[in-house]
Structure 1
Amino acid sequence: MQRVCFLLKVRRDRIAEYRERHAAVWPEMCEALSATGWHNYSLFLRDDGLLVGYLETEDFAAARSGMEATEVNARWQAEMGPLFESLDGDRPDEAMKPLTEVFHLA
């Protein structure tokens, strides 16, 4: 099982909206994430907008491509994209660059 952690940055003026949207994630989005191999998925948001994401999956590349193929993900990314800083033209899901794990206590 791969453990994946990534960082993104939510715009300061959109933090409240980001929190609200994640308090009511669409059921079909949750179903798609589960069906494509995203497990134990969590998002942590600091008050300055730093977003830390964590998930476990058998194959992160396959999990990402599985989500990319879903219609619900395209809608979610289109709605969430404007809430982030520094995406360089990417959608939020494309900007998720995994951090290198340097320690794990099993």
Structure 2
Amino acid sequence: MKRKGFIMTVYPDKHDEYEKRHNEIWPEMVEELNQHGARNYSIFLDKQTNQLFGYIEIENEEKWDKMAKNSINQKWWEFMKPVMKTNSDNSPVSIDLKEVFHMD
């Protein structure tokens, strides 16, 4: 498994809605995440900066990269667009972080 960390941004007035949508995540979205090798996925919110910190473990980059083209994922991106910063293809604006320390 490969660990990935990333940062996204939620709109200041959409914190509760962002959390609500994830509490009600579609079962088919969870299934696709699993099918694309995602495990141990968490997202944390810093309310002061509106920053979201995501952590996910994936089987491999190639399998994970295919998730972006998945129709369920693209529908999720469209669903989430009103609550967070997104790119022109509706994908979240996301900054990958470099892992500099890990301890089991």
What TM-score comes out, normalization by structure 1 length? 0.85
Quick one: distance in 1 between partners of 2:3 and 2:84?
A: 23
Distance in 1 (CA, whole Å) between partners of 2:95 and 2:47 is 21
Q: Could you tell me how far 1:69 is from its partner in structure 2?
A: 2.9
Secondary structure at the residue paired with 1:39?
Answer: strand
Deviation of residue 16 (structure 1)?
1.2
Can you give the 5+ residue segments of structure 2 that lack an aligned partner in the other structure? none
**Match for 1:59: what amino acid?**
N
Other-structure match for 1:28: 28
Partner deviation per Cα, 1:37-85 (whole Å, 9 max, x = no partner): 11111111122321010011121343132x1232211110011122113
Q: Provide the residue aligned with 1:13 in structure 2.
A: 13
**Residues paired across the two proteins, number:** 103
Please identify runs of 4+ aligned residues in structure 1 that moved more than 4 A.
none
Does 1:101 pair with 2:94? no
Partners of 2:27 and 2:87 lie apart in 1 by 29
TM-score (ref. length: structure 2): 0.87
Aligned to 2:88: 89
Say if 1:84 and 1:92, in contact at 8 Å, map to a contact too.
Answer: no
Unmatched runs of 5 consecutive residues or more in structure 1: none
Instruction: Please give the alpha-carbon distance, in whole angstroms, between the structure 1 residues aligned to 2:91 and 2:73.
Output: 11
Higher alpha-carbon deviation: 42-51 or 5-14: 42-51
CA contact under 8 A between 1:41 and 1:53: conserved in structure 2? yes
